[in-house]
Amino acid sequence: MASKGKCPLRTDFYLLLLGILSCILTCFGFNLDVRFPVIKEGKTKGSFFGFSVALHNQTEGSQRYLLLTGAPKEKALPQLKVNETGAVYSCPITTETSDCTRMDLVSSASSLEMVEGMWLGVAIASQSAEAGGHVLACGHRYVSLLKGASDQFRMIGKCYVRGNDLTFDPNDEWQSYSYEGCNPNFYMEEEGLCNMGISAGISTTDVFTGSPGSYFWQGNVHVTWRDPTPGNSWDYISKNMDKMGKHYSYIGYSVLEGQKVLSKDSYTVVTGAPRYEHKGSVLLVLNGNNKLTVKHVLNGEQVGSYFGNSIAIADLNNDDWNDLIVGAPFYFDRKKEEGGAVYVYMNENGSFQETASIVLCGPAGSGFGMAVAAIGDINQDGFPDFAVGAPFYDTGRVYIWMGSKQLISQKPSQVIAGSDLTNGGFQTFGYSISGGMDMDENSYPDVLVGSLDDRVALLRARPVIHLDKTFTVQPSTINTTMCSPGEQSCVTAQVCFSYTLSTGNEDFKRNITVKYTVMADWGRRSTRLRFLDNKQDSFTGYLSMPSTKCQVLKLSLVDHIRDKLAPVVFLLNVSLHEPVPRVRKSLQNLDAFPVFSDKQSLLGKAQINFQKACGTDDKCTSNLQLMAEFADEHHKPYPSQGGVQVMQYNTTVKKVILMVNVTNKPAPGKLAEDAHQAMLNITVPSSLRYSAIRLTSQDIPPSDIECKFEETLLCDLGNPFVGGKMVSFLIIFETLITLYTREVVSQLQLSTISEQSDLSPVPVILKVEFTIQTTFLVTPPQVQTYFSGTVMGESAMKSTSDVGSLVEYSFSVTMQGEALGSMGTIGVEIAWPYEVANGKWLLYISEILTTGTSESHCVPPGNIVNTLNLIVSERNPRRQKREASTTAPMKIEPQAAISQQAHRQETIWLDCMHGTARCMTFSCPLHNMSTSAKVIVRARVWNSTMLEDYSKASRVTVKGRASLKLITSIPTLKMNSDTREFSLDIDPVLMEEKVYTAPLWIVILAVLAGVLLLGLIVLILWKCGFFKRANRRQMYEAKAQKAEMKIQPSETERLTDEC
């Protein structure tokens, strides 16, 4: 595909700007003039004046050049009594825009034809290659009417031929013949809807027309041959193509005829079929004696691209064979944003390759290739050229490609937009194109461009001249001791110019003016020479000719020249000085506005040198060598691994030093002459900040070393850096290293204007291993842990409180510096003693909590947390939302302190390292940890194991281990492993005998029994009269009786009496 490349520019900096100007002149402003176009306007808006165009040379009646243009939607002549027929107009070459004349083609119509809407002018052509050539015009929607029981309408199309003076001569066989090539007696299966004339042309002997509607829209080409012998034009032969069974191919949509296509002598008909096999094709048809025979078919490459919509032939490489140009205006490539394509097939001695030699593409949606045309050799370089229209890009564009001995260039030599034309008013410029005829007789063919805007424009070609220039500067070497600065002229520059016309016409003696600019010491910030005439470093002058003209310029030196090593470069830039156009009613003569050839170099270059003391060859050859390495604040170089220095970085490192050593000393096979303008350019990586420089060598005074930091650190090592010397210095940087820093790379580039070819960038690489600084702390339980009670089996346990005493460990991690983010994760790896050696439970994990991370729980794989799925007693189901978001350590359940029993065994150690316990290792990654996080492990001492196996121990001490690990895929990210050991002391308590407590039912029964017994006793006493009291008389009688009997009262009675 064509690449929309830019113009090639010179790579040298001092030629950049002038290269751009030169490119603009040659690439986008060659010799088709846009300032003085000939604009013609249609008489009726919307008539499509400009739909088709042709150039015509009238030699009969009067000598003049005419612009022919079709207007297929033009109103009909009044006498026809129809609304619209279309028309063809002829326009003279004048500055007037509305002086076109309508040709008399259809002035009457019979009852057996319908001319309403026939689109007369859809195709027009001129036989101007021949003296007195005819003009052809067609209307493809012409209808023939068949009378009968019901009228039959046959849209067969019709063409008209008129004489050289555009009038009708009934005695001329060319004109009197009725060009209705299709038989109207059949319908679309034959040629009843053939639409003949949608494309057409006329050659020396043939009238050829395309009829895409023939044979179910297969299409056809009709050729009418006439005997070119004078007086024998009545002799003609009609030829067409056979049925091919290619329905809906539209053969004949475009058509042309020419020699040197398939044969040097025979004519070849070339026709486009834009729907052939859906991708479109171009058919090369041999024009035989009585028949048209298809010899070759070139196929398109994209469905719907309309390959063959437009065609042209031209001998682009001047090998005496016509090459083929094919337009496909609806080609598109979304990825490249291209729209429309033109395929160029180079002729190989009468044959063509299946694929195009080159494909040119236009902007998306531009319709690039809607029109293609051979336009002759518009720059007269010996190679025919061609034009391509892109009417739907902005205001429309026409692209000009120049023929060449080599393959056609991908970029056009000129691009003309509709908006470029003065008073153009175009919106679809480039819809139709015709060229190849010199309309203003300046020996350069011109180009006529049509549009759908009811206007056309003739673009005339400007004369092309070849400029011969000579540019010299003397002397070749400046001796500053013999030439003092000031008014004395030590240097002279001479320019000489002459020109020739590209046509070779030696009679062309137009007085042209060349504008030239000479720049002295070009490309330097401060120049060392100036012109005496204007005291500047550039001089602009003008030379008028046709004969050779020369100019001598004098220059002098400036004061205090520092650089005497670099040559003094002189640059010459040349352009044409055009006169200001005068306002005139007549057509502007373009001989006054020639252009330089597009192959013309408009730049010249020369250089001279200062005399130097640098050996017999007058060249200073230096031997600058560089060594550099990174070091720490104590000037100790960092160690190397595999040839690369490695720094163990942490946040305490504040400075990094780059130690630099530069020498200019002789070596075997190498001189060490002065290094003029020796510079060292040092790139400062983003992870470092330049701080200071410190000179450490004594060979060069400190004042000779000067460093400036902008985007890079640029150090001037002296001018010159004397041979045999050395300089060493330290560059101090402050660190801006982050977790994302893999390495620190600084490029050091030595430069000098002396001769030295081995100065290459020296990369100094410091690999950074970032060591993360962390603090790891293990907090044991805050309350002493005991075991006691009775043995309980697993199946009897319902909650974790049935297991035993609660144990809670906190593993706290604090990190200095920035968070790891996506770089990695810090993990706490714990070796947890969960069983004793015999496989019994030891410390049963109930839950693992985390704080300071994106997750509130740690759930390691392997079902190691709450393996038995017990109810976790540590959790408080009534916690509020705020309390739940911040996990606090669980309050340890206190144990009753009871005095120990008699003497017990010594302390027993349960340690996985010694095989007395079994550990399971799990890891809790601290995801999205910022600066601190905590892992809280809650577990229960398995009380039953303690009672069964260690009841006689005075203390059981359990040991575990926790480590801090870095989980990352970054090899330069490091962290020192931190392992902490933790232990748990478990003490037994004295098991006292518990007071027997009777069950409740026994208590109730005993109370009831007591109440019944008491009631029974009371009843017996009552029956015995125990509760019956004696009256006072009986009491006294009793007492009297006792007294008589002298019986002593009992103690009870006595006390009763006293009371």
**pLDDT tens digits along 138-177:** 999 999 998 776 778 999 999 999 999 999 999 888 998 9
Answer yes or no: do 82 and 209 share one domain.
yes
**Mean pLDDT, rounded, for 70-75:** 96
Answer yes or no: do 400 and 251 share one domain.
yes
Structure tokens at 632: 């720490």
Tens-place pLDDT, residues 7-64: 333 334 444 444 444 444 444 458 999 999 999 999 999 999 999 999 999 999 899 9
Examine residue 946 and state whether it is found in any structural domain, yes or no: yes
Cα gap 127→113, rounded to integer Å: 28
pLDDT level of residue 952 (50, 70, 90 thresholds): confident
> For the chain, how many structural domains are there in total?
5
Residues with Cβ within 8 Å of residue 805, at least 6 apart in sequence: 785, 786, 787, 893, 895, 940, 941, 943, 986
Examine residue 1 and state whether it is found in any structural domain, yes or no: no
Cα gap 203→210, rounded to integer Å: 15
Examine residue 287 and state whether it is found in any structural domain, yes or no: yes
Contact at 8 Å (CB) between 67 and 39?
Answer: no
* Whether residue 901 has pLDDT greater than 60: no
Cα gap 154→422, rounded to integer Å: 45
Identity of the highest mean pLDDT range in 326-330, 509-513, 630-634, 730-734? 326-330
- Taking CA atoms, 362 is separated from 329, 339, 389, 397, in Å, by 9, 5, 10, 10
* Whether residue 102 has pLDDT greater than 90: yes
Closest CA to 65 of 34, 96, 91: 91
Domain CATH code at residue 780: 2.60.40.1530
Cα gap 276→31, rounded to integer Å: 38
3-state secondary structure 801-827: HHCCCEEEEEEEEEECCCCCHHHCEEE
Predicted pLDDT at 1001: 84
Examine residue 32 and state whether it is found in any structural domain, yes or no: no
Cα gap 728→624, rounded to integer Å: 13
Answer yes or no: do 766 and 867 share one domain.
no
Contact at 8 Å (CB) between 108 and 175?
Answer: no
| Residue that is last in its domain, among 772, 800, 821 | 772
Predicted pLDDT at 770: 82
Answer yes or no: do 569 and 484 share one domain.
yes
Contact at 8 Å (CB) between 841 and 834?
Answer: yes
Predicted pLDDT at 925: 92
Predicted pLDDT at 39: 96
Answer yes or no: do 731 and 868 share one domain.
no
Residues with Cβ within 8 Å of residue 95, at least 6 apart in sequence: 38, 585, 586, 587
Contact at 8 Å (CB) between 493 and 473?
Answer: yes
Tens-place pLDDT, residues 845-875: 999 999 988 888 899 998 889 888 888 887 6
Structure tokens at 665: 């000393």
Across 971-1030, the runs of DSSP E, i.e. the strands, are 973-975, 978-988
Examine residue 147 and state whether it is found in any structural domain, yes or no: yes
Cα gap 807→803, rounded to integer Å: 11
% pLDDT > 70, the chain: 90
Answer yes or no: do 159 and 268 share one domain.
yes
pLDDT level of residue 1032 (50, 70, 90 thresholds): low
pLDDT, greater one: 822 or 91: 91
Contact at 8 Å (CB) between 433 and 398?
Answer: yes
- How deeply is 659 buried, as exposed, middle or buried, from its count of CB atoms within 10 A (0-12, 13-18, 19+)? middle
Structure tokens at 182: 């299709």
Q: What backbone phi and psi angles, to 5 degrees, belong to 24?
A: -60, -40
**Mean pLDDT, rounded, for 382-393:** 96
Residues with Cβ within 8 Å of residue 885, at least 6 apart in sequence: none
Supply the Cα-derived Rg of the chain in whole angstroms. Answer: 55
- 1001 alpha-carbon distance from chain centroid: 91
| Average pLDDT over the chain, rounded to an integer | 86
Contact at 8 Å (CB) between 210 and 204?
Answer: no
Predicted pLDDT at 12: 44
| Residue that is last in its domain, among 459, 492, 514 | 459
- Partners of 608 in beta bridges: 568
Cα gap 676→752, rounded to integer Å: 6
Q: What backbone phi and psi angles, to 5 degrees, belong to 750?
A: -85, 145
pLDDT level of residue 545 (50, 70, 90 thresholds): confident
Contact at 8 Å (CB) between 76 and 83?
Answer: yes
* Whether residue 535 has pLDDT greater than 80: yes
Answer yes or no: do 778 and 768 share one domain.
no
Examine residue 15 and state whether it is found in any structural domain, yes or no: no
Give the least confident one: 105-119, 214-228, 929-943, 982-996.
Answer: 982-996
Tell me how long the chain is.
1059
Element (H, E) at 1025: none
Examine residue 892 and state whether it is found in any structural domain, yes or no: no
Contact at 8 Å (CB) between 75 and 47?
Answer: yes
Cα gap 400→378, rounded to integer Å: 10
Predicted pLDDT at 446: 96
Predicted pLDDT at 504: 75
DSSP string, 856-894: SB---SSS-SSTT--B-TT--TT--HHHHHSPPPPPPPP
Closest CA to 612 of 707, 741, 477: 477
Cα gap 990→640, rounded to integer Å: 66
Answer yes or no: do 560 and 684 share one domain.
no
Answer yes or no: do 132 and 62 share one domain.
yes
Domain CATH code at residue 176: 2.130.10.130
Closest CA to 453 of 386, 392, 398, 399: 392
Q: What backbone phi and psi angles, to 5 degrees, belong to 229?
A: -65, 130
Give the least confident one: 68-77, 223-232, 513-522.
Answer: 223-232
Structure tokens at 412: 């056009």
User: Rounded to the nearest 5 degrees, what angle is found at the Cα of 791, between the Cα atoms of 786 and 795?
Assistant: 120
- Taking CA atoms, 533 is separated from 492, 525, 542, 552, 651, in Å, by 12, 21, 14, 11, 66
pLDDT, greater one: 862 or 119: 119
Cα gap 487→311, rounded to integer Å: 67
Domain CATH code at residue 628: 2.60.40.1510
Answer yes or no: do 1023 and 916 share one domain.
no
Cα gap 364→281, rounded to integer Å: 22
Cβ neighbour number for residue 235 with a 10 Å cutoff = 12
Residues with Cβ within 8 Å of residue 761, at least 6 apart in sequence: 747, 748, 749
Coil vs helix vs strand at 1013: helix
Contact at 8 Å (CB) between 390 and 416?
Answer: no
Predicted pLDDT at 546: 81
Predicted pLDDT at 453: 96
| Residue that is last in its domain, among 415, 440, 459 | 459
Answer yes or no: do 784 and 765 share one domain.
no
pLDDT, greater one: 1057 or 159: 159
Cα gap 57→130, rounded to integer Å: 9
DSSP one-letter code for 709: E
- 115 alpha-carbon distance from chain centroid: 56
Contact at 8 Å (CB) between 1020 and 1014?
Answer: no
Closest CA to 802 of 745, 756, 723, 866: 866
Examine residue 93 and state whether it is found in any structural domain, yes or no: yes
Answer yes or no: do 779 and 768 share one domain.
no
pLDDT level of residue 719 (50, 70, 90 thresholds): confident
Coil vs helix vs strand at 166: coil
Residues with Cβ within 8 Å of residue 245, at least 6 apart in sequence: 218
pLDDT, greater one: 791 or 164: 164
- Partners of 242 in beta bridges: none
Q: How many helices (H) and strands (E) does the chain have?
A: 8, 62
User: Rounded to the nearest 5 degrees, what angle is found at the Cα of 114, between the Cα atoms of 309 and 220?
Assistant: 35
Closest CA to 350 of 322, 310, 309, 386: 322
Structure tokens at 327: 């337009």
Hey, what's the torsion of the CAs at 844, 845, 846, 851, to 10 degrees?
Answer: 160
3-state secondary structure 234-299: CCEEEEECCCCCCCCCCECCEEEEECCCCCCCCCEEEEEECCHHHCEEEEEEEECCCCEEEEEEEE
Q: What is the span of the domain harbouring residue 812?
A: 774-874+899-988
* Whether residue 894 has pLDDT greater than 60: no
Cα gap 217→190, rounded to integer Å: 9
Closest CA to 803 of 940, 696, 668: 940
- 299 alpha-carbon distance from chain centroid: 34
Residue 728: CA count within 13 A, CB half-sphere: 9
Cα gap 552→572, rounded to integer Å: 13
* Whether residue 194 has pLDDT greater than 90: yes
What are the strands of the beta sheet with 538-545, ordered from one edge? 477-478, 603-610, 568-577, 512-520, 538-545
Predicted pLDDT at 372: 98
Coil vs helix vs strand at 969: coil
Cα gap 52→450, rounded to integer Å: 7
